Each structure stands twice: as C-alpha cells, then as structure tokens.
Amino acid sequence: MTLIERLKRLVPGGRDHSASTVANVQADAAYDAAMVQELEAYADVANVHDFPQIFHYWSNKYVRPKFEHVGLSSPTDVFTKILFAGVCI
C-alpha cells in the first residue's frame, strides 16, 4: 500500500479525486519517494513538539479557538478534513 493510499484511509469517506492516468501514477510514485526521503531525514529527531511554554499558551488561546469555530479539533484535521476531503472554509 502506498503512502497516498494509507493517508486516504485516515479520511472519513475519503475518495480519490484523481483520474487513473499514467501521469497521476508517476506523480504519486514521485510523491511517495519524496515522503520516504523526508521520513528518513527526520527519523532521528527525538521530539518535534518540544516548543517553549509560551507557544502552547499562544496556540491554545488564539489558534485553537479559530480551528474549533470551523469544526476542526486539531491541526491534523486541517489535512484530513480540508486537504483530502476537498472542504473549503
């Protein structure tokens, strides 16, 4: 299973909007290769969530309410609900 297929499984009611063409298959393969390269580059990063406390205060006080106002519960929802599902805010 490709990375794209795995990501689409995370989206409730996820569907493939692309036509089954050679160009799309090549683009998917190139994207998968780039994602593997990124995963390898960050494999040794211990904690990418290690931000100063002021960041968490700011994001919870100002950013999170904006997400919740439009029905998003986390930054991950931006990708799963908007980018993959084609929903616009």
Q: Give the pLDDT score at 86.
A: 61
Q: Residues with Cβ < 8 Å from 84, sequence gap 6 or more?
A: 7, 8, 10, 11, 14
Question: What are the tokens at 58?
Answer: 């700011």
pLDDT tens per residue across all 89 residues of the chain? 666 666 666 665 555 555 555 566 667 788 888 888 988 888 887 776 778 899 989 988 998 898 888 888 887 887 787 776 665 55
